[in-house]
Amino acid sequence: MLSIINENKLLTMSHKQIAELVGSRPDKVKQSMERLAERLIIKLTPLGEVNHLGQSVTNYYVDERDSYIVVAQLSPEFTAFLVDEWQKRKNPVLTIEQQTLMIATQLIETTKQRDEAIRTKAHINDKRTATVMGKLGAATKKISKLESQLQGVGDHISLLAAMLPQRIDTEFKSNVQTWRVLKQISTSRKHDIIKAKDPIYGEVNTYHIDVIEAFKTEYL
């Protein structure tokens, strides 16, 4: 499995990781990157690091677009694999708890719509209405329990658990990353951002429920 790092919230891949992917030597990949950068085809981000021998080395990092170009240059047959790998990283498989939460949310919405239709039909008997309301109540309890367990720490929950969009349009800028707005609101309201364990990402940021509600009121 490729190791793709998150540097300042921008997904990047190093020349060593690309070399591992295509079965090439790191120095060969590095030279190919340098040639492409000299021709202004790609943009390199050099990063000084210390290797396992304690020596200072410079690693080159490229973004998603430029990684495709590098791999196509080195080994065209691996390009499709790289495309699939980026898609997998950007759209991780949901855990069972996350899938259950989504299903429960859909059930809540469907049940609410049915309940509204029932109230508008006078000939529907009270017994059927009671049955539907019972299902709604059970689903509500289930989703509340899941929400408290999924990516949460006390009165803090994650962006995913709050079911917020990844990006929004603000009055100052379009297509802004939601986490940036949540961070600003947290700072202004003096709420801490707490790390929570996650089976996919290892750790995720969680935000106070007051911050989440303020965000929904402002942007949703």
Q: What is the mean pLDDT of residues 191-215?
A: 84
28 and 86 inside one domain: yes
The band of 148, judged by pLDDT with boundaries at 50, 70 and 90, is: very low
Last residue of a domain, one of 62, 90, 118: 90
Choice between 125 and 85, residue whose per-residue pLDDT is larger? 85
The band of 41, judged by pLDDT with boundaries at 50, 70 and 90, is: confident
* Dihedral (CA of 22, 25, 26, 30) sign: negative
Q: What is the mean pLDDT of residues 172-197?
A: 88
Contact of 209 with 156, CB cutoff 8 Å: yes
14 and 41 inside one domain: yes
* 156/89 Cα distance (integer angstroms): 25
- pLDDT of 7 reads 41
Q: What is the mean pLDDT of residues 32-39?
A: 89
Domain count for the chain: 3
Look-up of token digits 């707005």: 181
C-alpha angle 134/139/144, rounded to 5°?
A: 130
- pLDDT of 199 reads 66
Q: What is the mean pLDDT of residues 159-186?
A: 87
Q: What is the pLDDT of residues 46-62, one digit of tens each?
A: 888 877 778 888 889 99
135 and 73 inside one domain: no
Contact of 108 with 140, CB cutoff 8 Å: yes
Last residue of a domain, one of 70, 90, 110: 90
Structural domain including 188 reads: 156-219
- Token pair of 158 as six digits: 């994650």
136 and 68 inside one domain: no
Q: Is 55 exposed, middle or buried (0-12, 13-18, 19+ CB in 10 A)?
A: exposed
- Please indicate, yes or no, whether the overall pTM of this predicted structure exceeds 0.85: no
- pLDDT of 130 reads 60
The band of 105, judged by pLDDT with boundaries at 50, 70 and 90, is: confident
Report the chain's mean pLDDT, rounded to a whole number.
76
Pairing of strands 56-62, 152-153: unpaired
Per-residue pLDDT for 42 more than 70? yes
